[in-house]
Copies of this chain bind each other. A is one copy, B any other.
């Protein structure tokens, strides 16, 4: 990983962190370009050649730090055409899918490609993510997002109706992110290696019921259904510690299961 000692170069994705307002900005570093916000202007050329963590001041003397984006920055900053899988859920789902470097995984419902980015990072260069969506415009947008994250080499994206047979077999894991995931349970079973996991995210209780029914009928076991609530905590030196006053109240129910034979 000597790469991270290397300075940031043109063509790379950059995460700019406003040290005072605690906001971040993600963009591709380009010659002669400029970053502009209400906090002033920064020339891309000033960022080029810097190490991660370096301090840079905007035209209004506002302090910024330059970084390469982490995987969750890449996920949160995708150009969104759809709802995305948030990091709090993505972490659990990644564990549920038990991904290792070199594995092959199918994703049905590419959406904006946020979770695809995580899958691609986890399987590594030797692995492969086969991602499918029924909408061509979603796939095109997702591929841009995945490309910006530098992970295009291990992602294969194509159009597919979820109800159809998956064109790839013997995969290590399947992730379903679509409104009616139960229609894809049977093809998921066909595509999975024995015993390997399927995971999904679902918005309502009624869908959970239908999905669990479908999993049981289609030879899946070890079914787990959970929900995660993330509370951001405010830590201040003088005033003390407490949760933030606003929070995301709900993103989805998470489900995992393993293929029986």
A positions within 8 Å CB-CB of B: 1, 4-5, 17, 19, 24, 51-55, 65, 67-68, 70-72, 87-88, 90-96, 98, 100-104, 118, 121-122, 124-126, 170, 172, 193-197, 203-209, 212-213, 221-222, 224-237, 239-251, 253, 258-261
How far is A178 from B195 in the complex, measured between Cα atoms in Å? 36
| Chain B residues, Cβ within 8 Å of A248 | 245-247
Number of copies: 4
Given known A91-B94, A101-B101, A124-B124, contact A235–B208 (CB-CB < 8 A)? yes
Given known A55-B260, A121-B100, contact A194–B5 (CB-CB < 8 A)? yes
Determine which of B92, B172, B235 lies in contact with A1 in the assembled complex, contact meaning CB atoms within 8 Å: B172
How far is A98 from B235 in the complex, measured between Cα atoms in Å? 23
**A204 to B239, Cβ gap below 8 A?**
yes
- By Cβ-Cβ distance, the 3 closest A-B pairs, closest first, are A52-B195, A91-B91, A247-B249
| Chain B residues, Cβ within 8 Å of A92 | 87-88, 91, 230
| Chain B residues, Cβ within 8 Å of A247 | 246-250
**A94 to B94, Cβ gap below 8 A?**
yes
Give 7 A-B pairs besides A52-B259, A204-B240, A244-B249 with Cβ atoms closer than 8 angstroms: A52-B261, A95-B118, A100-B121, A101-B102, A226-B233, A245-B251, A247-B250
| Chain B residues, Cβ within 8 Å of A234 | 225
| Chain B residues, Cβ within 8 Å of A205 | 204-206, 240-242
Given known A4-B196, A102-B1, contact A67–B222 (CB-CB < 8 A)? yes
**A240 to B91, Cβ gap below 8 A?**
no
| Chain B residues, Cβ within 8 Å of A203 | 240, 242
| Chain B residues, Cβ within 8 Å of A65 | 221-222, 260
| Chain B residues, Cβ within 8 Å of A224 | 232
**B209 to A240, Cβ gap below 8 A?**
yes
**B231 to A242, Cβ gap below 8 A?**
no
| Chain B residues, Cβ within 8 Å of A241 | 204-206, 208-209
Name the CB-closest residue of B to A75. Answer: B95
**B242 to A250, Cβ gap below 8 A?**
yes
**A261 to B206, Cβ gap below 8 A?**
no
**B88 to A228, Cβ gap below 8 A?**
yes
**B100 to A95, Cβ gap below 8 A?**
no
Interface centre among A90, A226, A230, A242 (most CB of B within 10 A): A242
Given known A203-B242, A230-B228, A231-B229, contact A90–B95 (CB-CB < 8 A)? yes
